[in-house]
Amino acid sequence: MKYRKLGATDIDVSVICLGTMTWGEQNTRDEAFAQMDYALDQGVNFFDTAELYAIPARAETQGATERIIGEWFRARGSRDKVFLASKVSGPGPGWIDHIRGGRGRFDRADISAALDASLKRLQTDRIDLYQLHWPERKTNFFGRLGYTVEDDDDATPIIDTLVALAEQVRAGKIRYIGLSNETPWGVMKFLQYAAIAELPRVMTVQNPYNLLNRTYEIGLAEVSHRERCGLLAYSPLGFGVLSGKYLGGARPEGARITLWPEYARYTNPRAQQATEAYVRLAQAHGLDPAQMALAYVHSRPFLTSTIIGATNMEQLKQDIASIDLELPSEVLEGIEAIHQDNPNPSP
């Protein structure tokens, strides 16, 4: 395994982070236990979850993933071997009404309630990295590129959110804070207020990043590099699309897009065209397409960790093994050529 510093800290986290959002939906408790056992044995010391999980978001499975992780901590006695990240949900009226009525404020009351509930499910006294899952304010995220001016005067001021998080840091319930699905403006405002008011500093940004979506490079990569606020890349395989398993209209049994075809972010015609080109490139060099796609993400200098997710052990082993793959220059050149022909088909 390889390791990098978490933000401006002296903490080493594995370049591969174990994603967990399928546990409690696509994966059983026993399957999740097997994944955590294997990942830890392979040197993965970084796990990521959220109060929202399992995915898709449903009242019946909300919190199931954190409960499974908590049961594993208790059964294995491995809490101190894992750098644990979780997230507090933002607003989602009509989508996640089962979580605080869908209101999702990042104020003192909601952060305290969400954190305490997560700690109880996780059977721990602290979360090492606590992240805001998506912005409370109205802005462009979850695949939306254009910014539309909308009234969000009732959103919690960023400074108030930082003060609320600082209280939890002082209480020992949080060690560090992070953002997710954020914009360059958002990250810089959090950093600015933290510096001015001596409040907790954002250490990571968890956003999508993969061969089909490199929009992070446009503004956020420089922020990550210059501000020591590294990327935690989620969806590094684009919902599994970059493995090539959905090409030609294939829908493998039990796969995410087979089960939930509405997850169409990475299956539009341009994305399929680009995926075909990436798969051909990998095959021409004797590489597994999924491992090539992951190795590219691992290699980015603004990255802290790549969040992988697997629904079976074969996938997990293959994904973790990608850490040993160094892409030769001709493959990197081929990736850039495909990107120029098919830039960000799945933002």
In this structure, what CATH number is given to the domain that contains residue 140? Answer: 3.20.20.100
pLDDT of residue 151: 86
Distance CA 165, CA 176 (A): 9
- Do 30 and 328 contact (CB within 8 A), yes or no? no
Element (H, E) at 34: helix 29-41
Helix axes 158-170, 184-197, angle to 10 degrees: 60
User: How far from 278 is each of 52, 235, 310, CA to CA, in Å?
Assistant: 32, 16, 21
Residue 42 lies in a domain: yes
Residue 37 lies in a domain: yes
Residue 315 lies in a domain: yes
Residue 28 lies in a domain: yes
Residue 347 lies in a domain: no
Residue 118 lies in a domain: yes
Provide the domain count of the chain. Answer: 1
Element (H, E) at 115: helix 108-122
- Do 295 and 2 contact (CB within 8 A), yes or no? no
| pLDDT average per 10 residues of sequence, the chain (347 residues) | 98 98 98 98 98 98 98 98 98 97 97 98 98 96 89 92 98 98 98 98 98 97 98 98 96 93 94 98 98 98 98 98 98 98 96
Helix axes 313-321, 29-41, angle to 10 degrees: 20
Residue 128 lies in a domain: yes
Q: Which amino acid is at 316?
A: L
Tokens of 253: 């049994």
Containing domain of residue 11, as a range? Answer: 3-241+302-324
- Do 305 and 17 contact (CB within 8 A), yes or no? yes
Q: What is the DSSP string of 286-335?
A: T--HHHHHHHHHHT-TTEEEEEE--SSHHHHHHHHHGGG----HHHHHHH
Place of tokens 């392979």: 42
Catalytic positions are: 53
Residue 141 lies in a domain: yes
